Amino acid sequence: DTGVSQNPRHKITKRGQNVTFRCDPISEHNRLYWYRQTLGQGPEFLTYFQNEAQLEKSRLLSDRFSAERPKGSFSTLEIQRTEQGDSAMYLCASSHRDSLGAWYFGPGTRLTVT
């Protein structure tokens, strides 16, 4: 069990640039979640997948955000035309469908938009 991994761990980008983050879940987990955490706040739900299907998206996920999980394994989160307000820690978690909230989180990708 190698855990949930996220790459890169840190990303600094200029406003207006596009960025893409990757999440590799625990291999046998069919659910994958993306959350965003800003300083001093709790994680906020962005979206989740069951296998390759994206089942729910938060209203926080504007048109500039897109997430994919093409083969039901790893997932990518892309932010287009980044804004300073996108600066945050982006967290990925995975679980079995029946784990009832007992998720495994990755270390996160810290995005800084300058």
Partner 1 sequence: AQKVTQAQTEISVVEKEDVTLDCVYETRDTTYYLFWYKQPPSGELVFLIRRNSFDEQNEISGRYSWNFQKSTSSFNFTITASQVVDSAVYFCALSPEDGTASKLTFGTGTRLQVTL
Site for partner 1 in 27-46 (CB under 8 A): 31, 40-45
* Interaction mask 74-103, partner 1, x per CB under 8 A: ---------------x-x-x---xxxxxxx
Among 12, 53, 55, 60, binds partner 1 (CB under 8 A): 55
Residue number with CB closer to partner 1 (80 or 107):
107
| Residue burial 90-103, b: 16+ Cβ < 10 Å; e: rest | bbbbbbeeeeeeeb
- Give dist(CA 9, CA 89) in Å, integer: 9
25 sits near partner 1 (criterion: CB under 8 A): no
DSSP character at residue 106: -
Q: Is the dihedral of CA 67, 76, 44, 101 positive or negative?
A: positive
CB of 15: closest distance to partner 1 in angstroms? 25
Residue pointed to by tokens 């996920």: 61
By CB under 8 A, name the binding residues for partner 1.
3, 31, 40-45, 48, 55-56, 89, 91, 93, 97-108
